[in-house]
A and B are shown apart, each in its own frame.
Chain A
Amino acid sequence: MKHTLILLTIVFLFSSCEKAILGPDEENTPTNNFDLLWKDFDKRYALFEVKQIDWYGLKTRYRSQIDNNTSESELWDIFTEMLEHLKDGHVSLKSDNDYFESGDSLIKVAQNEFDLDLVESTYLDYHTQTNDLGLSYGKVKDKDIGYIHFENVEGDNDKIFEDVMASLKNHAAIIVDLRNNSGGDDEYAHKIAGAFADGEHFIYSVQTRNGENYGDFDSKKLWYTKPVGNQQYLKPVVLITSRYTVSGAEILTLNMRVFGHITHLGDTTKGDHSDKSSDRFLANGWTYTYSFQKYLMPNGESLEGIGIAPEVYIRNSSADIEAGNDLMFEEALTYLYETYKI
């Protein structure tokens, strides 16, 4: 029994020793944090080839700027400068005090080229905010046209959107506005589009990175539109997008624009299609994310960093908005009148 006791004591001492069991923890030094970040992107980021990024070249350029005397703020600047080369809205970095999103300069411009309050006050009879914070709807003044604005694509309750569609289904047309939309859940995007679906269309394929080489991806998962619910809205629809139509909102755009009764109008979308990774952790307490998938259009082309171009191009300037004019909205009304006399 004495031997058992000794053995158990050894087991306990062993089990209390973190290094012996898990190996040494990651050091919180600027160089090690850089290496952790760079290597994780190297192993898992999906869009090096699509975006033609020389990731090793960036390492050479930025790793040499870091030593263990580099301050936190200097490290932040170096990380964000390196990640900005990816121009990918799903690449982010977060510290206690700061947040960075790669390639968000287009969004910063586009967000001033739309004002929902202006749409409400100038063009709508009424405008109702639903319990899904990102979803509101209304009716265009003096027109038989419904209006839906999605601020994001993150509905928790399908019934809310179904109720919106029930309220608007008798209108002769609907404007679906995806401007200033930060994205969200692809599954919800498919459900929304299903309310407008005129059938099954192949819209894109998705592949997830599954190996250490930049070209390692799993097999293509093909995505098709499909009707959702008992009744679809098949009357004319104008879909408005801008550069601030991002991610899940772009998936919604890809779904909607293939339907014959829907016209895509506005500005090109942001071009961030892949799903965003889980938060990744660094030893200095920062977190980051990245894209881990590749979305390809039916013609094999990737629109990452390019965006989805509209059929009818029009864009507001911030001066237009300040002057009280939403030219994109007005163009949608003009299009519906000239094409359908609505």
Chain B
Amino acid sequence: MARHEKPLSERELDTLFAAVREDAGALPEHLVAAVLADASRVAAERKPAAPAARRQRRPAHRFSALLDGLGGWPGAATVVASGLLGLWIGVSDLASLPYLDDIGSELNVFVDGSDTLLPLATLDDLAMDG
């Protein structure tokens, strides 16, 4: 098989290596395309993560959270109106409120489906009667 048993010289080896380097084939186009597609995919996977992270890091706006808790603007308006009414009642002199004493005596209710309109005071009498 071997006509030359003497090992290759350093120079012969280097010549061989150089020849093999030059023989290196071109890159397959489909490999380049696949690698670039991977790069696009990795970049795309990274993009949505950044805004989401920013949203998570950003503290929720307190007023917005409160408004949501109250059911939005209509709910908040109701709460504010109720508060103002309570404040008004609190600071007002109840005795000076007009007709307050008369209101109770004027309250009338229907009892037991009766068509008769009874004065409120009569309710106590009904209760005592059983």
Partners in one complex: no
